[in-house]
Structure 1
Amino acid sequence: MKERYARWNKLAIKGLWWLVILGMLASLPVAYERHQTEQNSGRKVDVVFDYRDLLEISDSQPDPRSFIDQQLKLLKQHGVRSLSVYEATLNELKLSRRIEVFSSHEATALTQTPISPNENFTYILLTEKESEQRVREMIEKSFGQLNVQVRPWSYKNQPGLIIQMGLEESLMQTLDPDFLTMQKLKEQGFSLVVRLSNRRPFQTNPMDKLLGDLQRLGVKWIIVDGDSVPGFVSAEDTVNLDKMGEMLREHQIGLAAIEMQKTPQKGFNGLAKRIHHQVVRLHSFTESDSTKLTESLTEEELNGRIQGVADRLVLAVKDRNIRMLFLNARAVKSADKGKIVNPLDAMYQALDGPDGALPRIEKAGYTFGTAQSFQLVHSGWQTVAKLLLWIGAVALIALMVSYFAAELTLVVFLLGMLGSAGLFVLSSSIFSQALALGAGTSASSLAIMFALRAAKRKRENPTGSRIGFSVLLLVRTSLISVIGILFIVGLLNQITYALVLEQFRGVSILHLAPIVIAGLYWLLFLEPISHRERLLRTRELLSKHISILWVITAAVIAAAGFYYLSRTGNEGTTTGVERYFRSFLENTLGVRPRIKEFLFAHPLFILGAYLSFKYRNALILILIGVIGQASVVDTFAHLHTPLVISSIRIVYGLAFGTLIGFALIAVWEIIVRSWRRWVSRINAS
């Protein structure tokens, strides 16, 4: 029985490679269709400014309406084609100069008429004749839905209303959007993006009428305002969500997904699914971001920050499939300047000034206008391709295990197929992500283990060109890592990942696991010894006395690992100097290679392969190269980045890493030869 299993196991190792190859071939047309989705649709970018912010800034100006008219012209001149309008509030109507709002105490002082000491109402004067009727209807309708009484009031023949609700609370209430303002902005040539909240009771007929009115104004996109989408009640109660989705489809209005939110908006994914993912990604330049442009800065510092804003907007579009740039601004008090300042002029420079964002985005192949969602290219045969990818991914994981325990390869493959099938029944999303994570980790681990074996054989038979061997080894190692890329791209080719409605979890594992696996292999499995001997070596290592040097080394490695992991994923941290360097690379090359690849991992790999002809410990440098291989695979785990951008990034990393590796070799040779001359002179004297 053992002999039969051993024979089958030996055949399985060869057969599994063929399954991996089939999976790779199946991934290629899948990747091509993803590329078509990214390149042939959704190439329009919308630059949107928050109109409410403009109203708030105007409140600090001596002539608010003239200021708004002037800024609207400037916004259009500097490339802003759309304005975002919220559901109205009493405060926004006040900023628009349509009403004046008073508390009971303020109304008493104004009218010189005693008011009951028990009264705490809100008094409103309708100050604009052309909007008087519309504003009255908005207020009466919205507060009537809250069962709050509204009655007429006037002061010196100026009409008004009394809302039987305290001033602070009434200012918080949400009204219908201000259609008078929206119509005016539309006439001035702006497209409109509307922010809707879930703050008001959801009623089908009023919502359907509202969406119909928005459609007639040409509104194509809604940005959710608040922590839940209109119609969301709970994860279990989805009746209103179903209705909201149906109405959005009927009125051909989609959703904008705000990237990098700390807390996902409740019900967003469900509503996105109900409208067949008619969704675009939105990058928000927040009020807090804008205040950094109003601080007391030198001209050089201000220009640096403006450049940083431009770089940020360009990267959002090129690297993260952003199709809506949402700009906010805030007026702030400047003690140094002795006045209230705003960031608008600096933002205009960032948009279309010298080296501004908009010309660079256009140069990258995008156009400006109303944003468009992706037109998904997804053929029916992808189901068969996913089946081959499933089998190939399990085979790849089993082959990685074979480097540690070859006799278990067949068992691991069969158990992997069984376990993954159970995972698919449990959750298809977890199934795909687990296989992609396993395949990606296995590929980069196999790549570096192959490199260690090749370098070890070369040390035993040091023939041929050392530089040629180094370059060829890096290329072959990287090609093995590409296997993992193909499986990640093939298994996770879904629109939800491109829109980041669903995220590929475990990116940190994808970085760390190959380091641990390759390190374990180098430590215990690189030499052809028995499992018993490995066990003895492990015991010997564990029983060694711990020195202070070991403790310091472990602390340094732990700190380096923490720093390494802190920089991974979408929320990785970077230093100011590194951000400047990244910006320089991006602006110079168009696509920024990863620093840890071309400045660290790949050059050390090249140097290690070069030195492996003579030095056994040079394998440690090749081992460090696993960081670069994990990074190569991880680059494609950022599923919202276009495939073209990721591919260019990898090629740049390998090219520049090789050149820097050559420089390290040259420095090594200079040092060694200088040392030898110095030693020979000492010996001669």
Structure 2
Amino acid sequence: MKQRWIRLLIVVLVLSFFGSLPAVVIKERALKESDTVGFSIDARSAWKENASFLLKEAKERGVTYVGIPPNTLRLMKDTGEVEVTEAGGAFRITPTLPAEKDELDRIIRIRFGDQSREVGDSLEISVPWPEAKDEPLHYTDHQIEAFKQYNLPLMIRIHEAWPHEKEALEMLGEAKEKGLPVAFLSFDGDVPGVPSLVFLEKAGLPVSLREDMFGTDPQRGVKTYGLENPAMVTRAYHIANRILGKYWDSPDILAGRIALATSDRTLRLVTLEVPKNTTPTSEEYWGALTLFQEAVKKEGFEIGEPEPLRSSHSLWRSLSIGSAYVFALSILGIIGFFIRPVLSPVFLGAGALFLFMVHSTGWSLGEALFPLLFAVLIPVMVVHVVYERASRQHPFLLFLSVSLFTILSATVLYSMHSDMVYALYLKQFRGVLAMHAIPVLASFMYVAWRQREGLKTLTWASFKWYHGFLVLLVMTAGAYYLMRTGNNGFVLDIERDIRAYLEETLPARPRTKEFLIGHPLLILVLCFWRQSRLMKWLLPIAIIGQVSMVNTMTHFHTPYEISLLRSLLGLAFGVLLGIMAWVVVKGFLVLVRSKKEKDSKTCS
């Protein structure tokens, strides 16, 4: 009866996999069609002198956009457009060019109103300089004419200090009216009032969702807008001057990271700051820019204006979601049956009610919980299959079978998140820590339940000192396993070096916890399953490789072929290391056995 249920699950999995495959294929095709990556350089340091020459060089070097920062008094002071004289709680500004006084007066009064007044050839502002210097201003006519000389599409950066959307829209509208070729908007930080949905809709421009090489992307306002208008959002990779300085002597490493971001994380725009002393003849900077572009081209991209990501047809997404629902319910029903047959309809009914609530009411918590539930069920089911089949099936064949089960199941999970809001990282998988911890804990509970008769005979006298040592070792390893989980997890330097080496030498980096720990350990558990009861207790730890493969597929912003390749490479290296570990352990056991036999003959 149990074997019949497992065969039924395999049939459902195969049908669900093929039902979900069209959505995956269409998403992959859409990602490949978005095959251009734009490069933008920040014009902040180009204002002072030789701006037109600098940007002419940028255009010849294949730069797509020029990022212009918000105008501020500090920027105008740094570029020599005004002179500033502080006087107590106020300060005076004097334009370097007297002809600019009326224009300066106009933008100052827009921002500071009655707090400003005319004093001779200067303007006095009754606000302390430290508070006023970074307040955003409209652009002056002189600045706008300078921007036009760039002869490149512009990316206007909206500063988080803009107090009202009205002012930001007026600034943007004025820039357009005066002939600026505005092509993109970018936001500095998580802007408190800007951007809202109303502002972005009125602006009517594509928006960059900016993150840096540390993965920080706090721009919730842009994300909210992108959920309704994904075709108007482009993921951007920002390279600040401090990052350029860190990799100045090894730009090839930074180039590799930029290329990896475009291929693995669907980033289609790279924004670069310009060091202050850069000139048209600064070959170090321009050479680094060319190196970055060549690295991106090697990933199959062209340099140009980025193409928006197009969502797949809703029919195929609906089919993939339905396939995932059916498969998840099948796993629930089978788990309920194996615990106690009467629980099977209870589990099925509870799962069906949960899915109905999620699908019919748009329950946001349920939408986040279902992928987590699905991701947890897959490795738990693997533990059950191993427990049922390990004593009867060849260990390597069983390992490959459960790994294939994991990959196909995780593909079904990936397919139901094939919408471009996931590719753009506007939505993401929630509960990474839980999906790593719950399957291991649940598997320990399952093994304890299966070993309940043996546990009844345990006494304190049966525990040895090394049992406590093993428990402490497992707890320490488990703590590190959880600490290193996630984008910002703690990782040892040696593991970081291994990751960097694998990224540089392989088309996709296999995950270290799969091929170094999970897969080899699972192979050892299966190979020595019948020889030692300890293997049953190692099984919950050994499934971390399967958990990791599921987690790889929950990176919904990564192209499927990259995630699949990572898993396959992890399996290949894991099998090799598993065979080596099996040979070592087997040889050690043979030596121990032969020594015991020799000692027994000597004693006799």
- After superposition, where does 1:445-594 map in structure 2 within 5 Å? 445-458=380-393, 469-525=394-450, 534=452, 549-594=466-511
- Given the superposition, is the C-alpha separation of residues 13 and 617 from structure 1 closer, same or farther in structure 2, using an over 3 Å criterion? closer
* Aligned counterpart in structure 1 of residue 116 of structure 2, from 149, 156, 167: 149
Residue 137 of structure 1 pairs with residue 106 of structure 2: yes
- Given the superposition, is the C-alpha separation of residues 676 and 186 from structure 1 closer, same or farther in structure 2, using an over 3 Å criterion? farther
Partner of 2:79: 96
- Given the superposition, is the C-alpha separation of residues 610 and 73 from structure 1 closer, same or farther in structure 2, using an over 3 Å criterion? farther
- Given the superposition, is the C-alpha separation of residues 681 and 503 from structure 1 closer, same or farther in structure 2, using an over 3 Å criterion? same
- Given the superposition, is the C-alpha separation of residues 205 and 619 from structure 1 closer, same or farther in structure 2, using an over 3 Å criterion? closer
- Given the superposition, is the C-alpha separation of residues 130 and 366 from structure 1 closer, same or farther in structure 2, using an over 3 Å criterion? farther
Residue 124 of structure 1 pairs with residue 116 of structure 2: no
SS of the aligned residue for 1:371 comes to coil
Partner of 1:317: 262
Checking the alignment, whether the CA contact within 8 Å between 2:157 and 2:185 is kept in structure 1 is yes
Checking the alignment, whether the CA contact within 8 Å between 2:183 and 2:206 is kept in structure 1 is yes
Partner of 1:387: 322
Amino acid at match of 1:404: I
- After superposition, where does 1:597-676 map in structure 2 within 5 Å? 597-612=514-529, 614-619=531-536, 623-673=540-590
Q: CA deviation at 1:626?
A: 0.4
Checking the alignment, whether the CA contact within 8 Å between 1:38 and 1:642 is kept in structure 2 is yes
Partner of 1:220: 183
- Given the superposition, is the C-alpha separation of residues 12 and 582 from structure 1 closer, same or farther in structure 2, using an over 3 Å criterion? closer
* Aligned counterpart in structure 2 of residue 168 of structure 1, from 119, 126, 130: 130
Q: CA deviation at 1:169?
A: 2.8
Amino acid at match of 1:327: L
- Given the superposition, is the C-alpha separation of residues 179 and 640 from structure 1 closer, same or farther in structure 2, using an over 3 Å criterion? farther
- Equivalences, count: 597
Partner of 1:24: 17
* Aligned counterpart in structure 1 of residue 224 of structure 2, from 270, 276, 286: 270
Q: CA deviation at 1:261?
A: 7.0
Amino acid at match of 2:111: S
Partner of 1:246: 201
Query: What CA distance in whole angstroms lies between the structure 2 residues aligned with 1:317 and 1:264?
Result: 19
Amino acid at match of 2:542: G
- Given the superposition, is the C-alpha separation of residues 402 and 310 from structure 1 closer, same or farther in structure 2, using an over 3 Å criterion? farther
- Given the superposition, is the C-alpha separation of residues 35 and 92 from structure 1 closer, same or farther in structure 2, using an over 3 Å criterion? same
Q: CA deviation at 1:330?
A: 6.7
Q: CA deviation at 1:499?
A: 1.8
Query: What CA distance in whole angstroms lies between the structure 2 residues aligned with 1:11 and 1:611?
Result: 27
- Given the superposition, is the C-alpha separation of residues 199 and 14 from structure 1 closer, same or farther in structure 2, using an over 3 Å criterion? same
- Given the superposition, is the C-alpha separation of residues 223 and 17 from structure 1 closer, same or farther in structure 2, using an over 3 Å criterion? same
Amino acid at match of 1:359: E
Q: CA deviation at 1:191?
A: 3.5
Q: CA deviation at 1:267?
A: 3.2
Q: CA deviation at 1:648?
A: 0.8
Indicate the RMSD between aligned Cα atoms, in angstroms: 3.7
Q: Which has the larger radius of gyration?
A: 1
- Given the superposition, is the C-alpha separation of residues 435 and 95 from structure 1 closer, same or farther in structure 2, using an over 3 Å criterion? same
Query: What CA distance in whole angstroms lies between the structure 1 residues aligned with 2:479 and 2:61?
Result: 43
How big is each residue's C-alpha offset from its partner over 1:333-371, in whole Å with a ceiling of 9 and x where there is no partner?
Answer: xxxxxxxxxxx977656544xxx4332221111122223
Checking the alignment, whether the CA contact within 8 Å between 1:602 and 1:661 is kept in structure 2 is yes
Checking the alignment, whether the CA contact within 8 Å between 1:195 and 1:223 is kept in structure 2 is yes
Amino acid at match of 2:267: I
Checking the alignment, whether the CA contact within 8 Å between 1:44 and 1:366 is kept in structure 2 is yes
- Given the superposition, is the C-alpha separation of residues 566 and 495 from structure 1 closer, same or farther in structure 2, using an over 3 Å criterion? same
Q: CA deviation at 1:581?
A: 1.8
Q: CA deviation at 1:70?
A: 7.2
Partner of 1:292: 246
- Given the superposition, is the C-alpha separation of residues 392 and 308 from structure 1 closer, same or farther in structure 2, using an over 3 Å criterion? same
- Given the superposition, is the C-alpha separation of residues 375 and 425 from structure 1 closer, same or farther in structure 2, using an over 3 Å criterion? closer
Which is worse superposed, 539-548 or 282-291?
A: 539-548
- Given the superposition, is the C-alpha separation of residues 206 and 501 from structure 1 closer, same or farther in structure 2, using an over 3 Å criterion? closer
Q: TM-score, normalised by structure 2?
A: 0.86
Q: CA deviation at 1:264?
A: 3.3
Which is worse superposed, 90-99 or 418-427?
A: 418-427
How big is each residue's C-alpha offset from its partner over 1:622-666, in whole Å with a ceiling of 9 and x where there is no partner?
Answer: 553301000111001111111111011111111111122222233
Q: CA deviation at 1:10?
A: 11
- After superposition, where does 1:3-82 map in structure 2 within 5 Å? 19-41=12-34, 43-52=35-44, 54=45, 65=49, 72=55, 80-82=63-65
Residue 196 of structure 1 pairs with residue 158 of structure 2: yes
Query: What CA distance in whole angstroms lies between the structure 2 residues aligned with 1:345 and 1:450?
Result: 61
Partner of 2:233: 279
Checking the alignment, whether the CA contact within 8 Å between 1:605 and 1:625 is kept in structure 2 is yes
- Given the superposition, is the C-alpha separation of residues 680 and 228 from structure 1 closer, same or farther in structure 2, using an over 3 Å criterion? same
How big is each residue's C-alpha offset from its partner over 1:465-516, in whole Å with a ceiling of 9 and x where there is no partner?
Answer: xxxx343222101111124313321332333222222221111122122222
Amino acid at match of 2:25: Y
SS of the aligned residue for 2:185 comes to strand
Checking the alignment, whether the CA contact within 8 Å between 1:23 and 1:393 is kept in structure 2 is no
Q: TM-score, normalised by structure 1?
A: 0.77
Query: What CA distance in whole angstroms lies between the structure 2 residues aligned with 1:163 and 1:280?
Result: 39
Unaligned stretches of 5+ residues in structure 1: 1-6, 59-63, 106-119, 155-159, 233-240, 295-301, 333-343, 459-468, 528-533
Query: What CA distance in whole angstroms lies between the structure 2 residues aligned with 1:330 and 1:550?
Result: 59
How big is each residue's C-alpha offset from its partner over 1:243-286, in whole Å with a ceiling of 9 and x where there is no partner?
Answer: 3233133xx43343436776834533333345455111122334
Amino acid at match of 2:303: F
Checking the alignment, whether the CA contact within 8 Å between 2:266 and 2:557 is kept in structure 1 is yes
How big is each residue's C-alpha offset from its partner over 1:523-575, in whole Å with a ceiling of 9 and x where there is no partner?
Answer: 332x6xxxxxx3x6556569788765444433322221121112222222323
Unaligned stretches of 5+ residues in structure 2: none
Which is worse superposed, 392-401 or 356-365?
A: 392-401
Q: CA deviation at 1:313?
A: 1.8
Query: What CA distance in whole angstroms lies between the structure 1 residues aligned with 2:528 and 2:455?
Result: 28
- Given the superposition, is the C-alpha separation of residues 603 and 548 from structure 1 closer, same or farther in structure 2, using an over 3 Å criterion? closer
Partner of 2:70: 87
How big is each residue's C-alpha offset from its partner over 1:388-416, in whole Å with a ceiling of 9 and x where there is no partner?
Answer: 43233222233234443343112110121
Query: What CA distance in whole angstroms lies between the structure 1 residues aligned with 2:537 and 2:253?
Result: 38
Query: What CA distance in whole angstroms lies between the structure 2 residues aligned with 1:206 and 1:669?
Result: 71
Checking the alignment, whether the CA contact within 8 Å between 2:231 and 2:310 is kept in structure 1 is no
